Amino acid sequence: MPAITLSDLSLKEHSLTPRVAACKDTYFRAVPEICTERALLVTQGSLAQGLLGKPRITCLDKARLYRYVLEQRQPIVRHRSAVAAGMVAFSPNDRWLFAGSTTARWKGVPLYPEFTPTSDSAWAGSIRFSIRCTQRTLPRVTSTWGGPSSFCAACG
C-alpha cells in the first residue's frame, strides 16, 4: 500500500465542509448529560439474576447480565433533542453523520454502578447534579448498590 503524504501538515489549505462544520457546532453546543439507563438496567438485571448477594460473579454471569442490558436498552437511531448550556433543550442537526448512540441522551455520560464499590466512593461524594431523569432513577440505583447517596443535591 502506497504511503499517503500531505504537503502541509497544518492543514491550513483545507476546511470543513458545511455539513461537518454544522455537526461540530451542534456537538460543542450540547452539554453532557448523565444517562442512568445503563445503570438502571444493570441494577435490574443484577437483582433479577441474584448477582448482588454472590461472593463471586463468573464471566458467564456477567455475559448474561450484559445480554439482559442489551436486550432491554432503548434502540436509538437518531436523537430528537439535546440540551445546551442553561439546560435549554434544542433539536440537534438533522444531518448528523453518525447513526446510533451508546446512551439514551444526545451527549450522554453513562454510569457504571458495578465498577463503583459503594455509592459514597471518592468521585460519587463530590459530584452534585440535578437532571430531570437522574432525580427519579439514581436513588433507586444507588440504594441497591450501596445505600444512601450524596449524588444529587435534589435527591438527598
CA-only gyration radius of the chain, Å: 20
What does DSSP say about strands 82-84 and 33-35: parallel, antiparallel, or unpaired?
unpaired
116-146 pLDDT per residue, tens = 654 444 444 434 443 444 555 555 555 565 5
Name the helix (H) or strand (E) containing 90: strand 88-90
> Once rounded to an integer, what is the mean pLDDT over residues 11-20?
83
C-alpha cell at 82: 439535546
30-64 pLDDT per residue, tens = 898 888 888 889 888 988 998 887 888 899 999 99
Write down the residue that cell numbers 437532571 correspond to: 131
Helical pair 132-146 and 37-49, crossing angle rounded to 10 deg: 30
pLDDT band at 153 (very low <50, low <70, confident <90, very high): very low
Q: Residues 119, 127: contact at Cβ < 8 Å?
A: no
